[in-house]
Chain A
Amino acid sequence: MPVISVQNLKKTYVVGDIQVHALRGVSVDVEPGEFVCVTGPSGSGKSTFMHILGCLDRPTAGQYILDGQDVSKMSRDELAKVRNHRIGFVFQGFNLLSRTSAIENVELPLLYSRDHIKASERHKRARSSLEIVGLLERSHHHPNQLSGGQQQRVAIARALINNPSILLADEPTGNLDSRTSIEVMDVFQRLNVERGITILLITHEHDIAEYGTRTIAFRDGHIVRDAANEHRRMAKDELAALPPPEVNGSTDTHSVGLKRKSAPKAAAAGPAGS
């Protein structure tokens, strides 16, 4: 049974008198354990598609079945619950709360859980989440004390905390340099391979799309290509092949300090608008 099943999905915005057709009938099935990369130029509808898959938005027409449940007609509060329990989000701009430690950022979704979770339990889960992304030793750092790559890994840890069935990432490497991008992609690949988490990732960079198992290309609200990746790039191997890191996200060298300067700026930038 597919984890995501979308049939003839349409989304139309009305801006003034003009109707904007962001999605013109999209049908996709995603099986558990897939790593789907969604590409396409600005205005192709890929972001709208992700928003609907992420239950942040509702389709104008069509059906969306997540984990066997029709979510296309749910109320605002029901959608909030789905977002909390079944979906993990990773954004281009990280969207971490400033002046709040990494571990508290990771715990955040648990505060909105419908069943009460004890503080000690929240802490335990946040720690294990941070451990998965390799940032346990930085759990009490604030976002402005972390590099861009580290901030994105905190955001991934936050997305993982409720053990979601799918992880949605919107241009997660958009604000990162090449090496850090590979590091973040390595985290995604490990989650996908080792834990079998289904991942949907938006990117406009073709080389990033090659880390997935399948690529869906959007243009003008339609899917123009949907194919398995023949040559999947493996971030782990590439990292091993690279020369020793000039900037290593997980060790404190003086160059980390240089990176930090750009990190808050990146955090302040908006999420992908395409």
Chain B
Amino acid sequence: MMRLLMILRVALKALNRNKMRTALTMLGMIIGVAAVIAMVALGKGAQSSIEAQIKSAGTNIINVMSGNFMAMGVRQGSGASNTLTVEDAMAIRQMIPSAQYVAPGVNTRNQVIAGNQNWQTRIEGTDVEFPLIRSWAVKYGAFFSTQDVTSATKVVVMGSVVATNLFGEDVDPTGQIVRIKNQPFKVIGVMTSKGSGTGFDDQDDKVYVPYTTAQKKLMGIQHIQNITVSAASANEVKSTADAITELLRTRHKIMPGDSDDFMVRTLEEMAAMRTETTKTMTALLAGIAGVSLLVGGIGIMNIMLVSVTERTREIGLRMAIGARGSDVLMQFLVEAVVLSLFGGGIGIALGFAISWGVTEFLTWPTTISTDAVALAFGFSAMIGIFFGFYPATKAAKLDPIEALRFE
């Protein structure tokens, strides 16, 4: 123990003698470790924010989407079939008691024009129960009514982002007229902001119109593209989803063994899918950061090799006055490990700082995981041992006379 302490002191002294070089060598490790920690923190942050977002949307929600279908043996992508109908939605509402709210939906993208302002956004055609399913309140005005749906009125309820872009912040635009596809729509309400953090599917950057209006006035279609259902309670989600599948298969006359022409997804499933995606992303980012950690390690090996050559005479002297090969080995190994551990330590601090900065200035959520910190630290120690070993053995194997004579 005392011996190790002594070797440590000798190593610190040697590193202190060439401060600039020591600092630059450490920099490799610092960047590597900081990158790993910051990347993992970003990934984990995205993951937990997605989870939180989906939770806030309500876990009782079931999405029915028109699915893939075969046209002459060629499978079309999801949403390509037009077999989902308003009647399907009505049937779900009537036949499945645990389906509390049901909203048929269609969507399209178009330019929304208000005076001299315009904004490209997604137009969702939906039903009156939509705000209830999402437990979402209006900020100004009101959501459209059953009356609007049955008579396909040209009214629009805006997401907060759209309202801000067309009319300015904190302005109540109800009663104004906007033009969509060259047709006048009356603004009757603005939704409160959901504050969708990650921007994957920003609920606030949409406008909502009655689905009938969207079908007839904007898209010219008879079918619908999705049905949003909310189950009466969280533990009825699974059974409701199964019941919907069963009902739609019967209604669409799908033979047993054939695949569905629609998809039923619960939000929990979607959450799981997205989490999986971000996990892959996190692993990828951490992998790239890991490469820089490896490069840092090679930097250490490089410098240690230079240092062994440079200090050949010193090694010779130490051997002449009684240092064994193992003493020399330990000295250089400890030097390498000290380099990598110090670098790792500073890297961890920097990683924390970067994560904090990203959250503070870019408002991206980050979560620092203790696993990543422990892993990065352990890994940097291992890198020190691994990349320090070769130069240290080289030093230990030197012949004392040769080393003393080295110019």
Chain A residues in the interface with B (C-beta under 8 A): 51, 54, 56-57, 76-77, 80-81, 83-85, 89, 91, 95, 97-100, 108-109, 111-113, 116, 158, 162, 270-271, 273
Contacts and interface: CB of A to CB of B under 8 A. Distances in A.
B325 interface: yes
A84 B322 contact: yes
Contacts of A270: 313, 405-407
B interface residue count range (under 10 / 10 to 19 / 20 to 34 / 35 or more) = 20 to 34
Given A80-B325, A113-B322, 8 more contacts: A51-B401, A54-B320, A80-B319, A80-B323, A109-B322, A111-B6, A112-B318, A112-B324
B13 interface: yes
B324 A116 contact: no
A108 B321 CA distance: 8
B3 interface: yes
Interface in B362-407: 400-401, 404-407
A85 B324 CA distance: 13
Given A91-B404, A95-B404, A271-B405, A83 B322 contact: yes
Task: List the 3 shortest-distance A-B pairs measured between CB atoms, nearest first.
Answer: A84-B322, A112-B322, A109-B321
B180 interface: no
Interface of B is mostly: helix
Contacts of A57: 401
Nearest to A272: B405
B401 A56 contact: yes
Interface of B: 2-3, 6, 10, 13, 17, 313-314, 316-327, 400-401, 404-407
18 contacts: A51-B401, A56-B320, A56-B400, A56-B404, A83-B321, A91-B317, A95-B316, A97-B314, A98-B17, A100-B13, A108-B321, A111-B6, A111-B10, A112-B323, A113-B322, A116-B2, A270-B407, A271-B404
A95 B311 CA distance: 11
Given A112-B318, A116-B2, A116-B3, A76 B324 contact: yes
Contacts of A84: 321-322
A162 to B, nearest CB: 8
A116 to B, nearest CB: 6
A28 B55 CA distance: 92
B313 A95 contact: yes
Contacts of A271: 404-405
B407 A80 contact: no
A184 to B, nearest CB: 19
A112 B326 CA distance: 11
B17 A99 contact: yes
A271 B407 CA distance: 9
Contacts of B324: 76-77, 80-81, 112
A256 B403 CA distance: 31
Among B322, B324, B400: residue with most chain A CB under 10 A:
B322
Given A57-B401, A270-B407, A112 B321 contact: yes
A9 to B, nearest CB: 16
